[in-house]
Amino acid sequence: MILIIDMSYKKDSLSLYEFVKPIANIVRATDDFAIKHFSEINENDIDSSEKVILCGTALKDNNFLCALEKFEWIRQFENPVLGICAGMEVIAKVLGCDIVRRSEIGMTKIRIVKQDVLLSGRKEFDAYELHNLSVVPTKDFEILAESNICIQTIKHKRKPIYGIMFHPEVRNEWVVKNFINLPKHC
Q: What is the pLDDT of residues 155-176, one digit of tens each?
A: 999 999 999 999 999 999 999 9
Residue 185 located in a structural domain? no
Active-site residue 150, yes or no? no
Residue 88 located in a structural domain? yes
The single residue of 37, 55, 85, 104 carrying the catalytic annotation is 85
Which pLDDT value is given to residue 14?
A: 80
**Residue ranges in the chain modelled with pLDDT below 70:** 184-186
Q: Looking at the 3D structure of the chain, how many domains does it have?
A: 1
- Whole-prediction pTM: 0.94
- Output the domain CATH number for residue 103: 3.40.50.880
pLDDT in tens, 9-18: 888 888 889 9
Which pLDDT value is given to residue 185?
A: 59
Active-site residue 169, yes or no? yes
**DSSP string across 117-169:** GGGTT-SEEEEEEEEEEEEE--TTEEEEEE-SSSEEEEEESSSSEEEESS-HH
Range of the domain at 118: 2-180
Distance CA 133, CA 150 (A): 9
Active-site residue 185, yes or no? no
Residue 20 located in a structural domain? yes
Residue 56 located in a structural domain? yes
